[in-house]
Structure 1
């Protein structure tokens, strides 16, 4: 009877393994890449927010905020995690 009980659990174990490989693992990888992108933000980067606004990073603030200029003289504060894409990166300043 123990072999029969084990045989009933094998399909459940296989389903969980397939779900992990197809759903959970890629989502975790995507989340890590997004966190890496957000942590590398710096002044001058052109970004797209999740709301669809395109702007240039003016200032990276503390407590996970970024100040983005969306038009000349119009600056908004957004939470770093709401940056969905970096369109262009600025080159790091050369040491003087």
Structure 2
């Protein structure tokens, strides 16, 4: 079951990504960028949020989620290249 509540201009939804965001205690702006990267690059938001947490990123540095996503894409490409060799 998904619960939605209007908070400001955005609807707050208790979904998998929101729960993962809460688990790792990262700022909500990281969730927004992580979900955008999921849509554009196919990287799972959960992976991005976990890496952001591991890096100790704080609010105001949400663009770091984009860097993390790009690193995950690079890792995925490297793994595919390594598997083909």
Q: TM-score, normalised by structure 1?
A: 0.26
Structure with higher Rg: it is 1
Q: TM-score, normalised by structure 2?
A: 0.29
